[in-house]
A and B are shown apart, each in its own frame.
Chain A
Amino acid sequence: MSSDVIVETQSKPRYSQAVRTSFWFVIVALVCLLFSDISITTQDPWTELKRMGWGIITPNFLDYRTILEALVQTIAFALVGVALGAGGGFILAQFFHIGIVRWACAFVRAIHEIFWALIFLQMLGLTPLTGLLAIGIPYAGICAKVYAETLEEADLRAEKAVPGGSGLLSTFFYARLPEVWAHIVHYTSYRFECGLRSSAVLGFIGMPTLGFHLESAFGEGNYSDAAALLIAFYILIVTLRFWMRGRLLWLYLLAAPLFLTGGSEIKLTNIVRFLTSDIVPAPLRIGDFSGFVDWIVSMFQTQVLPGVFATVILTQIALVMTAFLALVLFPLISEKFFGQFGRSIGHVFLVIVRSTPEFILAYIFLQLWGPSMLPAIVALSLHNGAIIGHLMGRYSNEILLRPDHGKGLNLYGYEIVPRIYGQFLAFLFYRWEVIMRETAILGILGIATLGFFVDSAIADIRLDRAMFLIFITAILNIGIDIISRKLRARLRINQTVEAV
């Protein structure tokens, strides 16, 4: 009897590969938890938290002109930036089978928009072009990947029916593209929402978008002003589908460049200096090759290794927390679980959680719990959990249920979750590298991630170090990309997902 059981378990594992993969991720996160530092040390957070709470219930819209102007700028930067990214990405997607293109795309999207902006700030100053390229370049890399994968999976029947002798272009535009057009449009519109967030965040480093004023108001403790800006941003995102419509888009795109402001002329000398001198490691600038070796060694010892360690630990824990939160949050906007009214509330809640910049979440939790990895983990996983929850909720709406399906927890546990689990993992794997990039911007918590060291190098105007660390970050990111691609292939998860 016992031998029967053994044979049975060997030939047919009890758990699916997806579940076992998830299990391993949880194990890794638990191990990381051992190395992380999570402690609660605060004394009396309530004074500050009360002030914040008071700010939220008394938003100050008096300075509505600043808010409106910032909103217009945020939209304008997002529109033109995403258009550049989508256009560039579409062209690159055609060449995505070429190794170098694929690598280049992986490389550019591995660098956080903030870092792109900091790089262009050195060359182009506070010109609109800095902000546009900071969005456009990484988005081109992301769009290229998703468009290429979408095109690859297109239904080829139409293409096969095209008469022989038709040109490549005609075949592409009349037989291949229409098959996937809806998906591309859908994805690009999702990208636009991300673009709005990116655009807002670029304000933190000086673009005239929402983040500019938000960071000021928040930094100074003017929480009523900060609340007004945040509320305006939430409304912008919630109403997105009402004002972002097909035909209007072209009107917006034509108008947007007129609104981009700020900055002075672009000087070629600054660009040349940055490329030929600033980013060259300091010892090499004076031709000191042995000094260069020391430089590399010291960079690895003092920044790269500790930075990679902290980054990976934080990322893995936040990833698993994100997964749990997403699983809890997605029913809030799913037709399978809530009626119209409940879903509306769910939508608003998810918009608030995913549109509040992580550094604000991190600051709130820092006040609550004191400095450790805890505020970072919670801030990252709330933000990303709400994004994946949103995508999963939408995805779950497309599931067709049998008439005799279960209800409540049974429906959740035995029907919906198992059926969307593959997609859920795919969303997570895509989000994995994003979470890693986002660990970069939590210096206030004193966690020495790679991003923390990049930020320090830029603060010290040591651009050679900054570029070196950005390069390392990009490589780490590409590593994650490779692992997640392998995992997706092994789990045979649908490749074309939208959550990058």
Chain B
Amino acid sequence: MKTRRLYTGFVVALAALAWVAIGNPTAANAQAKEFVFTAIPDQDETQLRKRFNKIADYLSKELGIKVKYIPVKSYAAAVTAFRNGEVHLAWFGGLSGVRARSLVDGSVAIAQGFEDKSFETYFIAHASSGLKPADSFPKEIAGKTFTFGSKGSTSGRLMPEFHIRENLKKAPEEVFSKVGFSGNHSKTIALVQSGAYQVGAVNFKVWEKELKAGKIDESKVQVIWRTPPYPDYQWTIRGDVEKTWQAGFVDRVKNALLNMKDKELLDSFPRSSFIPASNSDYQPIKDVAKEIKLIDD
């Protein structure tokens, strides 16, 4: 009796595994023709989901095919999904886009937000740190506690680290008494606002959005420095989509993105419009990433 139970259990478990491994065949077939995209989870994920589900509807209407958005949990997961062909299109940051395109031959950056040509990172500080807004790099941040955003973020990691190394000639771990990675821009703001970290680096768009939403008390946390502009977010597409859909598909997707005029859609990014982009626009990001050894030569 007990033996039988044990065997039944094992057989059931194996059957379950087999079922999952083969992966509900009908579902897989339906997915084969679906155009799938993802985005880096740089902020409020509930908002991201709403935003990108709307984008999926829009693209689906414009392209006349089924389009689906799948959410991922990290920058690396977005790059991996793109690399593995789980998604065909992605809304990447500067650094994640560079990484993704170097891993997938034939992939191209097709569009960026109008604001992404000249994106900025804000260095923010808690009032008690005594740091004041300045036009030049605030060298007094040395010795304070500091938090980046996500490890794979352009605005929350790559660019601030670049400027720290450039100006202080040392690695962040040597410059600051503590270096943390908050995970995302909203958490960076929360952690500096509470003084848990004295200084942080944050995506300027997220800062402005939260400021508008009344989530920031400027008597506690304020911007002390703005980085020079750099190129950031962009839409990147895999080259092999033209095999699945017909030739010229990349341009059709690109045009659909550039023709997005719906203010509500654009505001949700928030971007004023999308403009053409190319791989070479992101060469500066690639150079910086190589310089601080976040990517290999």
Kindly state whether residue B46 has any CB partner on chain A within 8 Å.
yes
Instruction: Tell me which residues from 159 to 188 in chain B have a Cβ below 8 Å from any Cβ of chain A.
Output: 173, 178-184, 186-187
Asked whether B152 lies within 8 Å of A122 as measured between CB atoms, the reply is no
Stretch at the interface among A236-244, A334-342, A442-450: A442-450
Asked whether A265 lies within 8 Å of B23 as measured between CB atoms, the reply is yes
Kindly state whether residue A141 has any CB partner on chain B within 8 Å.
no
Q: Which residues of A contact B79 (CB under 8 A)?
A: 461
Q: Which residues of B contact A282 (CB under 8 A)?
A: 296
- Bound-state Cα–Cα, A132 to B18, Å: 12
Asked whether B73 lies within 8 Å of A263 as measured between CB atoms, the reply is no
Kindly state whether residue B2 has any CB partner on chain A within 8 Å.
yes
- Bound-state Cα–Cα, A320 to B74, Å: 34
Stretch at the interface among B81-89, B110-118, B232-240, B250-258: B81-89
Q: Which residues of A contact B14 (CB under 8 A)?
A: 87
Stretch at the interface among B4-12, B52-60, B268-276: B4-12
- Min C-beta distance of A298 to chain B, whole Å: 11
Stretch at the interface among B135-143, B192-200, B241-249: B192-200
Q: Which residues of A contact B46 (CB under 8 A)?
A: 216-217, 220, 222, 225
Asked whether B103 lies within 8 Å of A205 as measured between CB atoms, the reply is no
- Bound-state Cα–Cα, A282 to B293, Å: 14
Q: Which residues of B contact A462 (CB under 8 A)?
A: 296
Asked whether A43 lies within 8 Å of B13 as measured between CB atoms, the reply is no
Contact of A460 among B19, B21, B151, B191 (CB under 8 A): B151
Asked whether A45 lies within 8 Å of B196 as measured between CB atoms, the reply is yes
Most chain A beta carbons < 10 A, residue from B46, B84, B180: B84
Instruction: Tell me which residues from 112 to 133 in chain A have a Cβ below 8 Å from any Cβ of chain B.
Output: 121-122, 125-129, 132
Kindly state whether residue A36 has any CB partner on chain B within 8 Å.
no
- Min C-beta distance of A62 to chain B, whole Å: 12
Kindly state whether residue A266 has any CB partner on chain B within 8 Å.
yes
Kindly state whether residue B26 has any CB partner on chain A within 8 Å.
no
Kindly state whether residue A331 has any CB partner on chain B within 8 Å.
no
Given A219-B184, A266-B21, does the pair A42, B74 have CB atoms closer than 8 Å?
Answer: no
- Bound-state Cα–Cα, A146 to B21, Å: 28
- Bound-state Cα–Cα, A173 to B181, Å: 53
Kindly state whether residue A206 has any CB partner on chain B within 8 Å.
yes
Kindly state whether residue A56 has any CB partner on chain B within 8 Å.
no
Kindly state whether residue B43 has any CB partner on chain A within 8 Å.
yes
Stretch at the interface among A250-258, A377-385, A422-430, A484-492: A250-258
Q: Which residues of B contact A87 (CB under 8 A)?
A: 9-10, 13-14
Given A181-B2, A370-B145, does the pair A253, B13 have CB atoms closer than 8 Å?
Answer: yes
Q: Which single residue of chain B is at the shortest CB-CB distance from A66?
A: B46
Q: Which single residue of chain A is at the shortest CB-CB distance from B84?
A: A270
- Bound-state Cα–Cα, A89 to B165, Å: 50
Contact of B190 among A48, A83, A177, A212 (CB under 8 A): A48
Instruction: Report the interface size class on chain A.
Output: 35 or more
- Bound-state Cα–Cα, A129 to B16, Å: 10
Asked whether A253 lies within 8 Å of B147 as measured between CB atoms, the reply is no
Asked whether A126 lies within 8 Å of B151 as measured between CB atoms, the reply is no
Q: Which residues of B contact A225 (CB under 8 A)?
A: 46
Contact of A83 among B9, B31, B294 (CB under 8 A): B9
Q: Which residues of B contact A215 (CB under 8 A)?
A: 73
Q: What 0/1 readout, one digit per residue, does chain B (46-78) give for beta carbons within 8 Å of chain A? A: 100000000000000000000000101111110
Kindly state whether residue A371 has any CB partner on chain B within 8 Å.
yes
Q: Which residues of A contact B72 (CB under 8 A)?
A: 126, 206
- Min C-beta distance of B190 to chain A, whole Å: 6
Kindly state whether residue B218 has any CB partner on chain A within 8 Å.
no
Q: Which residues of B contact A122 (CB under 8 A)?
A: 80, 84
Asked whether A83 lies within 8 Å of B151 as measured between CB atoms, the reply is no
Asked whether A45 lies within 8 Å of B195 as measured between CB atoms, the reply is yes
Asked whether A205 lies within 8 Å of B21 as measured between CB atoms, the reply is no
Kindly state whether residue A260 has any CB partner on chain B within 8 Å.
yes
Asked whether B103 lies within 8 Å of A461 as measured between CB atoms, the reply is yes
Given A87-B10, A253-B13, does the pair A121, B77 have CB atoms closer than 8 Å?
Answer: yes
Task: Point out residues on A near B: beta carbons under 8 Å.
Answer: 41-45, 47-48, 80, 83-84, 86-87, 90, 121-122, 125-129, 132, 173, 177-178, 181, 203-206, 212, 215-217, 219-222, 225, 249-250, 253-254, 256-257, 260, 263-267, 270, 282, 366-367, 370-372, 443-446, 448, 455-456, 458-462
Task: Point out residues on B near A: beta carbons under 8 Å.
Answer: 2-3, 6, 8-10, 12-17, 19-21, 23, 28, 31-32, 36, 43-46, 70, 72-77, 79-81, 84-86, 99, 103, 126-128, 145, 147, 150-152, 173, 178-184, 186-187, 190-191, 193-197, 215, 217, 220, 294-296
- A selection of 18 A-B contacts at a CB cut-off of 8 Å is A42-B194, A43-B126, A83-B9, A84-B16, A125-B80, A126-B70, A129-B21, A222-B46, A257-B16, A264-B28, A267-B85, A370-B195, A371-B145, A372-B178, A443-B180, A443-B181, A460-B295, A461-B103
Q: Kindly list 12 other residue pairs between chains A and B, CB separation below 8 angstroms, not including A126-B70, A129-B23, A216-B45.
A: A83-B13, A86-B13, A125-B80, A173-B3, A250-B9, A253-B16, A264-B31, A267-B85, A446-B179, A446-B180, A459-B75, A460-B294
